[in-house]
Copies of this chain bind each other. A is one copy, B any other.
């Protein structure tokens, strides 16, 4: 790769899959999602490319595409050699623009757009290096990892020195853990059986399938009707037996008091965690719920919009399971900070996946976490939903209930060109030079 290669253009494509037709992904808040990708490709002058995406559920995917497009002038022209030296460069450049910052700050559409571009930048680096992302990240030294983290607003909970200690401690045994991951993969749990729109028959059949496939935890969507939830939980429990854990996910359906009451009404079915019981912004509310439903752990994070929110959830012991998302915060760069925070507070990370492309991307973060950050698999697993993997050039795969270690270069966000063509939303393919 000649030293003077640079990002020459940014391409954005609005890709939408009509998943609502089958009620995949239906839950108490999201009745008819069309899994969509605001898909970004950074093209370099020498013909390399980096791929990233923001995930949405349909309408508004064009808004994220417009936001990504608006960011293009800030990344076009960046030299690849500068990015190699300083992998936090794209993130710092995009987050540092004060005019765009007003649109958040660091939240919502503009932050998701920044995340997509940041991830495409990382993807470019790992592809150039010929390395899968998790191994690329695990190969950075502790100082480089610390250098990626934006400690602004974090230092009351995590200092650069503390983060360095975390990464340095993980140097010990890293090579063995990398080997273990390549051999055994990483634990997964199955969400596929539990969508709210599925019939009881389909629920039972998919529960049986999940057990047969070796999953040791499944997840059911709840929050529509408490008696329905009890019936479905009872059916699921009967089907999977007592050795398979069952988590439940309310997708933000309740107020604080309602959450406490409802979760307690489901407790007899031995709940592995209660996920998103209320507003993803309600740190104080999650803390109150966690105290009231203990020992059932409270899980949240897929809508947690930045590291400052994660910090507070951890400070108030409001999340016992941290469910980071690969495409909600400002990309891998911010997720390195989130993983370091989780390690500092000793909270397990069980990433959000599903949708389109999330399984493909987020597995790299958990593999990296085990290899080079927490060094732990204790209670940790990655969500698995069996949708839309066929559209990816490096699809996530499962073997005996575990994610197989990805071994192709990059962050796995690249879609098969024919899929992109087939599902591009009309009039939303744009290039920016």
Contact = CB atoms under 8 A, between A and B. Distances in A.
A109 B67 contact: yes
A430 B280 CA distance: 34
A303 interface: yes
Nearest to A281: B308
A107 B284 contact: no
Contacts of A58: 99, 102
Nearest to A289: B156
A59 B288 contact: no
A60 B98 contact: no
A12 interface: no
A107 B108 contact: yes
A256 B279 CA distance: 25
| Copies, count | 2
Interface in A152-178: 152-156
B155 A255 contact: yes
Nearest to A73: B59
Interface in A101-128: 101-112
A257 interface: yes
A303 to B, nearest CB: 6
Contacts of A279: 105-106, 152-153, 308
Nearest to A64: B103
Scoring A60, A151, A152 by chain B CB atoms within 10 A of each residue's CB, the highest score goes to: A60
Contacts of A151: 255
Nearest to A106: B281
B31 A285 contact: no
Interface in A244-303: 252, 255-257, 278-285, 288, 303
Contacts of A33: 98-99, 102
A335 to B, nearest CB: 17
A371 to B, nearest CB: 30
A30 B102 CA distance: 9
Nearest to A284: B312
10 contacts: A32-B98, A56-B103, A59-B99, A63-B103, A64-B103, A104-B108, A108-B108, A281-B312, A282-B312, A284-B315
Interface of A: 29-34, 56-60, 62-64, 66-67, 70, 97-112, 151-156, 252, 255-257, 278-285, 288, 303, 305-306, 308-309, 311-312, 315-316
